[in-house]
Amino acid sequence: MNQVATNVRWHHATIGPEERARRLGQRGVVVWLTGLSGAGKSTIAARVDALLHARGHHSYILDGDNLRFGLCRDLGFSPEDRAENVRRLGEAARLLQDAGLIVLVAAISPYREDRARVRERLPPGGFLEVFVDAPLAVCESRDPKGLYRRARAGEIAGFSGIDAPYEPPEAPDLRLTLVPHAPGGAPSSAAASLAATPAGATATSTSPTIDVTADASDGASILRDRSVAAGATADDHAAAIVGLLAARGLLTPPAAT
């Protein structure tokens, strides 16, 4: 019963990405938010979704937590299960992207290799990796679901960042940080970021920055300047993502040929 299907073939549709982009006034893309638990992936994805909706765009969120109630409910948190989880999220995202949607994926997706495989399944420019780079100390101080406390108490094994790995992206399309920059100098340490955050407060009380590591030729440098001035609430982070989508020409229909 567990045989892989061989007698299948691909059926081509007559309506392709260009027609869908013209109809929807946008190009399908997967915005993949990766980062530790509590980094802000779900919060930021929801803000981006709302911003896009308000502007008449068509987006949809695939949240790792939520998909584990259905499509991925048979999976746990072993490296193998996480790989399969990310693969399924990637395949679901790919279908929605192909339908022309702006797909916002929020999943820890801790392994570089798993994320790279998703990128390979998408057309060039169809996958934007966004690193929600809140340091472990900040995530742990937020602990929105009490999971870090339970992991530290030994009640949850294999928790990302505690006793399971998290591999940060090496060249993300966008990196959202909360680490304050010393005036005119290099970023100060993550520990300083936490130290500047009063207990019970969020790290937004620091003077954060958004670092855009994308190619400056596509407008990323403009984003960087604006973001530094704006600070880094979840709304600023969401605006940076929308800015990146605009800079990549994904929020306008293709020019008529």
**Site residues (CB under 6 A) for ligand PPS?**
37-38, 42, 64-65, 68, 77, 82, 85-86, 107-110, 145, 147, 156, 158-160, 164
Residue nearest to ligand ADP (CB): 40
Question: And the tokens for 186?
Answer: 């290099």
Is 36 annotated to bind a ligand? Reply is: yes
- What does the alpha-carbon distance between residue 99 and residue 122 come to, in Å, rounded to a whole number? 13
Please, what is the minimum distance in Å from the beta carbon of residue 191 to ligand ADP? Answer: 18
Active-site annotation holds for 59: no
Stretch that binds ligand ADP, among 7-15, 92-100, 151-159, 231-239 (CB under 6 A): 231-239
| 193 is known to lie in a ligand binding site | no
Q: Is the separation of the CB atoms in 26 and 107 below 8 Å? A: no
Q: What's the token pair of residue 208?
A: 């954060």
- 219 labelled as ligand-binding? no
Q: Tell me: does residue 147 bind ligand ADP (CB under 6 A).
A: no
CB of 164 to ligand PPS, least distance (A): 6
Q: Which is nearer to ligand PPS, 82 or 248 (CB)?
A: 82
Geometric angle at alpha carbon 89, from 245 and 134, rounded to 5°: 60
Residue 55 identity? R
The reply to whether 190 sits near ligand ADP by the rule CB under 6 A is: no
Rounded to 5 degrees, φ, ψ at 114 are: -65, -40
**Partner whose binding site includes residue 147, from ligand ADP, ligand PPS, none (CB under 5 to 8 Å by kind):** ligand PPS
Q: End-to-end distance of the chain based on CA atoms, in angstroms?
A: 50
What does 213 interact with, of ligand PPS, ligand ADP, none (CB < 5 to 8 A by kind)?
A: none
Q: Is 106 in the site for ligand ADP (CB under 6 A)?
A: yes
In angstroms, give the least distance from the CB of 253 to ligand ADP: 31
Stretch that binds ligand ADP, among 13-21, 87-95, 161-169, 196-204 (CB under 6 A): 196-204
d(CA 98, CA 92): 10
- Residues making up the annotated binding site are 35-42
- Residues making up the annotated binding site for ATP are 35-42
Active-site residues, by number, are: 109
Binding interface with ligand ADP (CB under 6 A): 35, 37-44, 106, 142, 144, 202-204, 232-234, 237
